[in-house]
Structures are given as C-alpha cells and as structure tokens.
C-alpha cells in the first residue's frame, strides 16, 4: 500500500467517525468540528484519487469538501458578524 492509499483510507475513517458521531447524536453536524472533520476526510480521499483517478469519486468527494467548506465559511461569517 502506498502513501496515497493510506491517505484515502484515513480519509474514509475520518468521515465515517464524523458520520457515526452525528448519527448517534454525539456531535452536531452543523458545528465546526464535524464540518472540519468532513472537509479533512474528503481532502484525504481526493489526495488518494490524484494517484488513482476516478471521475465519479472525485465529483462526490469534491462536492463533500465544498459543502463542508461552505458550512465552515458560514460559521466563520457568523462569528465575524458577532452573531
């Protein structure tokens, strides 16, 4: 197993932990820790896909990363506005 495979597997594990935490009510999916975890996981998977390209997987993980990043940006914007 190469380092890109290891990065992809780590990304899958990170996303699954975040999903399980949200599904079990342990973490709030709208809060920064969950969004950041999902963003990092998706980026790790995207890194692995740079080595073994798969268009549908890149589209899915790219969207996952962008949605997570948008959520983090929303939280940052709210914090800047003092809300």
pLDDT in tens, 24-46: 999 999 999 999 999 999 999 99
What pLDDT is recorded for position 82? 82
Residue 32 CA from chain centroid, whole number? 11
Per-residue pLDDT of the chain (83 residues; tens, 9 = 90+): 899 999 999 999 999 999 999 999 999 999 999 999 999 999 999 999 999 999 999 999 999 999 999 999 999 999 999 86
Domain boundaries, the chain: 3-81
Residue 77, φ and ψ in degrees, nearest 5: -65, -40
């Amino acid at each position: 197993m190469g380092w890109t495979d290891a990065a992809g597997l780590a990304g899958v594990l990170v996303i699954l932990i975040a999903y399980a935490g949200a599904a079990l009510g342990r973490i709030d999916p709208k809060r920064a820790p969950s969004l950041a975890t999902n963003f990092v996981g998706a980026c790790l998977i995207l890194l692995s896909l740079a080595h073994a390209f798969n268009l549908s997987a890149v589209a899915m993980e790219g969207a996952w990363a962008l949605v997570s990043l948008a959520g983090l940006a929303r939280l940052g914007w709210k914090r800047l506005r003092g809300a």
